[in-house]
Amino acid sequence: METIQIPDDDDAIPVPGPIVAIAGDDMVRPVWINERGGVTFELGAGPSRRFAKWAPASAPDLDLAGEVARLRWAGAYARVPRVLAEGADSDGRWLVTAGLPGGSAVARRWREDPLLAVRASGVGLRRLHDTLPVDDCPFDWSVESRLARSEKWAASPDPALGDAPTVDRLVVCHGDPCVPNTLLLDDGTWSGHVDLDALGTADRWADLAIGTMSLGWNYGDGWEGEYFDAYGIDPDPGRIAYYRALWNAT
Ligand SMILES: Nc1ncnc2c1ncn2[C@@H]1O[C@H](COP(=O)(O)OP(=O)(O)OP(=O)(O)O)[C@@H](O)[C@H]1O
Ligand SMILES: [Mg+2]
């Protein structure tokens, strides 16, 4: 997904009123802007450090309510942000979560020297898949549900995608396992996952195909083998190709 990581010294992003009010006396720093105009702000520091995601009214498809439901469910099992507050007014919607320890896997130091970040991202995805219980999961990210929800697919359906590969292993998938959604501790070990609005049950290859595709966008070519090794799996070219095509089509 096309996104911008905001430089530390950027003060050109306006802070919406509700976020100013939530921050109180704490400092507010924009850290991320997504391709649909949603902005994430970091508020405060130390024990009160938290993150506020802002979805402007002009981007109704940013599903903060769906993310809240998934964070609340997954939080009983996995290292994901704890929901502190949510709200809406006529200008937009917001979601406030407690800060997870560490920082982004695409921080400059990891983009300059990616090996530990690549390995931690593979390990982290494996932990998520091994930890979240499929039988208890109320959310679905199957091929059928993704095609049924996709306006892009409805507008130009690709018949090849109707023929999904058999499921290798059904797990609770992250749903957007691109490396910026992985957080690392300072020593390069995995800290947790953010951005769970698409989480749901699906073949593990739905996540693996995209986690590895995102390595090239963020770190350059040549890192996929390290990621698959860290996850503990051999690449499956057929399922990788299918789930990348599905991602691009939906
Ligand atoms: N609770 C949290 N603890 C630590 N960091 C966080 C937290 N929430 C968000 N972040 C940071 O803010 C960034 C943006 O958050 P998130 O990925 O949820 O936003 P998004 O706009 O939905 O992302 P995308 O562009 O992938 O759609 C994350 O990559 C992470 O670095
Ligand atoms: Mg994200």
Give the percent of the chain with pLDDT over 70. Answer: 96
**Identity of the residue numbered 118:** V
Per-residue pLDDT at 7 exceeds 70:
no
Residue of 43, 51, 62, 185 to mutate, ligand 1, most atoms within 8 A of C-beta = 51
- Distance, CA of 207 to CA of 210 (rounded, Å): 5
pLDDT tens per residue, range 176-187: 999 999 999 999
Mean pLDDT of 196-222: 98
Q: Is the CB of 175 under 6 A from ligand 1?
A: no
> In this structure, which ligand is nearest to the CA of 196?
1
> Residue 32: CB within 6 Å of ligand 1?
yes
Residues of the chain with CATH 3.90.1200.10: 103-249
The yes-or-no verdict on residue 8 having pLDDT over 80 is no
Please give the distance, rounded to the nearest whole angstrom, from the Cα atom of residue 133 to the centre of ligand 1.
24
Q: For residue 69, what are the contacts with CB-CB under 8 A and spacing of at least 6?
A: 139
| Predicted local confidence at residue 1, as pLDDT | 38
Q: What angle do CA 84, 37, 99 make, to 5 degrees?
A: 25
CA of 240 to the centre of ligand 1 (A): 25
pLDDT number for residue 199: 98
What count of Cα atoms within 13 Å lies in the side-chain half-sphere of residue 83? 21
Average pLDDT of the residues of the chain: 94
pLDDT at 170: 98
Out of 2, 32, 82, give the residue to mutate to test ligand 1, the one with the largest number of ligand atoms within 8 Å of its CB: 32
Fold category of 3-98 in CATH = Phosphorylase Kinase; domain 1 (3.30.200)
Work out the burial of residue 185: count CB atoms within 10 Å of its CB; fewer than 13 is exposed, 13-18 middle, 19 or more buried.
middle
Residue 38: pLDDT above 70? yes
Cα(32) to centroid of ligand 2, in Å? 8
d(CA 250, CA 244) in angstroms, rounded, equals: 10
What was the pLDDT predicted at 12? Answer: 76
CATH hierarchy code of domain 103-249 = 3.90.1200.10
Q: Report the Cα 223 to chain-centroid distance in Å.
A: 19
Ligand (nearest to CA of 36): 1
Share of the chain above pLDDT 90, in %: 87
Query: What integer is the mean pLDDT of 76-105?
Result: 97
pLDDT band of 2, cuts 50, 70, 90: very low
**Whole-number Å distance between alpha carbons of 236 and 197:** 26
Q: Is 80 exceeded by the pLDDT of residue 9?
A: no
pLDDT tens-place string over residues 39-59: 999 999 999 999 999 999 999
Every domain of the chain with CATH number 3.30.200.20 lies at: 3-98
Per-residue model confidence (pLDDT) at position 150? 87
